[in-house]
Structure 1
Amino acid sequence: MATRVLMVFDLPYSVPPDYDFAAEFADPDGSYTENDVYQALLESGYEVRRLSLFDDVRPLLDAVRDFKPEVIFNLCETYNNATHWDKNVIATMELLDVPVTGASSSAVFLCNDKGLCKKILRFHRVRTPRFHTFYRGHKVWLPKLLKLPCIIKPLTEEASRGISQASIVDDEAGFLARIKMIQERMTLDAIAEEYIEGRELYVSVIGDRALRTLPAREMTFGDMAEDEPRIATYKAKWDEKYRKRWGISNHDARPIEPELQKRIDEVCKRAYRALNLRSYARFDLRVTAGGNVYVIEPNANPCIARDDELAQSALKAGIAYSSLIRKVVNQALRQKG
């Protein structure tokens, strides 16, 4: 009898219980990740039911009661169009006592708070940029321990939202102004980090008890001026016209020396365990010319679309997409033990 998988994802609107998602799954700019995972689950012989959430969790409760899934494949990134509620959706799933793919609600909470996450990583001897958090309603100043230039980011946003070339500041006035902008215009807390010059690498890790690091991917900034800070801004990640204009591309990493590769693998595995991650995750790294490896961001439940970084790294390691999806399901099923 086929394993029953409830595939749960988010949409920015409500749909009726018998909705077929045909339009969303056919849209290359719409639910392409969900379509990739759905097709892979079907290819693997699972019995799959799809469920979208918007602003009501009752359909999830009803689906678990009626379908009785053996595993929930979680692809929810927002709830009621708010990214910070993703952890709450996972926590609701955990209350239902059904194994859930991807990171736990507590791990997602940690990874979404850049300051708290960096404190934990530094405690576990994982190198991160020096930083300081600035909460709304408190004094803002340039700490003496931070060396300019710095990059100023929203404390809890994801996918590089709120990050642009203007996020890099090299004087006190710019430092204070950027924090003020995030706090007042975006109504968010802010974090300031020292800017690390180096290669931008993305390293995925899969596993729970036994961990495996996948071949690195790299973002390169081909046509940007040498004196421009080369950072993964929102536009550099998501704006195709901007990427084409500046020759920005993501690809298999350029050759990495064996000793450095060993160091990268060790850093990513230590960070994965320190944050109590499971199933799959991706680390955004900066590697300096001197070989120092900095964890810039951990990504719990990163995009798992066929053409995105994690799946492409898996393919480079000889793991076909359908095999990757089966691994994720099997890891969740092991939670029963």
Structure 2
Amino acid sequence: LVEQFKNNPGFDQNIVSLLEMQGVPFTGCGAIGLVLCKHKGISKKILGYHGIHVPNFVVIPRGRRIARLKVPKFPILVKPVKDEASYGISQASFVETEEQFRERVAFIHENHDADVIAEEYIEGRELYVSIMGNVRLSVFPIRELLFREVPPNEPKIATYRAKWDEEYRKRWGLQNQFADGLDPALVAQIEETCKRIYRLLTIDGYARIDLRLTAENKLYFIEANPNPHLAADEDFAQAAEKAGLPYPRLIDRIMRLGMKTLRD
């Protein structure tokens, strides 16, 4: 497992490529899957082509003139196209006007030195689906991020602070738990959709798929996270334990998957 090289998380796929060329076993996702998932625009293009619902979006590279936005329609989320762990995402990422859009794009270009993805804001439940496997896939129980104290008229966004700032989470009643009230048929549909996503993006090892579920039960892909956070109190490990895979066995299984020669 490689999270970063020289304090840069953007090089993980390069290290994995080297290990693949040398035939050295490693845990987690292969290089192609890491590359496809890292770029949120590419992953959405692939999945949209294959009939999976994705938000309307546009990518604005650094150095490109910020043109008047035609698609998607406001409100939208503006965020770095490649950064992980919600880095670069805040309440200011939610924009409703052309002026806010231009300001936020310029902010990310200048302060994060990153290209931007601007995508349609999808109102709905924030679901996290954990998957493990190379060829035969296991889907663990669905987790959900709840926004208990966020006013109904405010956007519900998994910002950087929403994920990593405990005081912020307490103030706004943010809580990760197992998703309640999902019809079994809908759960089966979500699981099959996530397996398709996993395979279409050539993920192996283990990953978490982030989704939005609307009030009409329409499912939208938000992003795929190969090699998600593995702390025992995080969503992936909690979902695995709920599925009957306690933490020591989870780590053992990840290592065994990494030792397998067949990864695709």
State the partner residue of 2:152.
Answer: 226
What amino acid sits opposite 1:147 in the alignment?
K
State how many pairs are aligned. Answer: 263
Matched, 1:279 2:236: no
1: CA distance between counterparts of 2:23 and 2:144? 38
C-alpha contact (below 8 Å) 1:220/1:249 kept by paired residues:
yes
2:223 aligns with 297
Identify the match of residue 267 of structure 1 among 176, 184, 193.
Answer: 193
Q: 1 or 2 for the larger relative contact order (CA 8 Å, sep ≥6)?
A: 2
**Does 2:112 match 1:183?**
no
Supply the distance in 2 between the matched residues of 1:262 and 1:336 (Cα, whole angstroms).
27
State the match for 2:237 in structure 1. Answer: 311
Give the superposed CA RMSD. 1.3
Equivalence for 1:143: 69
- In the alignment, which of 69, 87, 98 is matched to residue 13 of structure 2? 87
Q: Give the CA deviation at 1:250.
A: 0.8
Whole-Å separation in 2 of the counterparts to 1:202 and 1:89: 27
CA-CA distance at 1:334 after TM superposition: 2.1
Q: What is residue 204 of structure 1 aligned with on the other side?
A: 130
The reply on whether 1:194 has 2:120 as its aligned counterpart is yes
Q: Give yes or no for the alignment of 1:215 onto 2:141.
A: yes
Specify every segment of 5 or more residues in structure 1 that has no aligned partner in the other structure, as ranges: 1-73
Q: Distance in 2 between matches of 1:204 and 1:142?
A: 38
Deviations 1:173-195 (A, max 9, x none): 11111111111222211000000
- Give TM-score, length-normalised by structure 1: 0.76
Deviation at 1:232, TM superposition (A): 0.2
- Structure 2 residue runs without a partner (length 5+): none
Q: Note if contact 2:30-2:203 (Cα within 8 Å) is conserved in structure 1.
A: yes
2: CA distance, partners of 1:116 / 1:202: 20
C-alpha distance in 2 between matches for 1:251 and 1:100: 30
- Could you say what secondary structure the match of 1:296 adopts? strand
Q: Distance in 2 between matches of 1:120 and 1:302?
A: 21
- Give the deviation of 1:166 after TM superposition: 0.5
Aligned counterpart in structure 2 of residue 257 of structure 1, from 171, 177, 183: 183
What aligned pairs does 1:1-337 form with structure 2 within 5 A after superposition? Answer: 74=1, 76-335=2-261
The one-letter code matched in structure 2 to 1:224 is V
TM-superposition CA deviations, 1:251-305 (whole Å, max 9, x none): 1112211121112111101100000111111011100000111110100111122
TM-score with structure 2 setting the length: 0.96
SS in 2 for 1:208: coil
Of 163-172 and 302-311, more deviation after overlay is shown by 302-311
| Bigger Rg, which one | 1
Report which stretch shifted further, 279-288 or 94-103: 94-103
- The separation in 2 between residues aligned to 1:113 and 1:323, in whole angstroms, is 31
- Contact kept in structure 1, 2:69 and 2:98, CA below 8 Å: no
Per-residue deviation, 1:152: 0.2
Distance, in Å, in 2 between the alignment partners of 1:306 and 1:135 is 37
Q: CA offsets per residue over residues 174-217 of structure 1, 9 Å max, x none?
A: 11111111112222110000000000011011112111211011
- Percent sequence identity is 44
**Displacement after TM superposition at 1:87 (Å):** 1.3
Give yes or no for contact 2:58–2:71 (8 Å, CA) kept in 1.
no
C-alpha distance in structure 2 between counterparts of 1:134 and 1:141, whole Å? 9
Greater displacement, 249-258 / 213-222: 249-258
Q: Distance in 1 between matches of 2:85 and 2:206?
A: 17
Alpha carbons 2:4, 2:11 under 8 Å: kept: yes
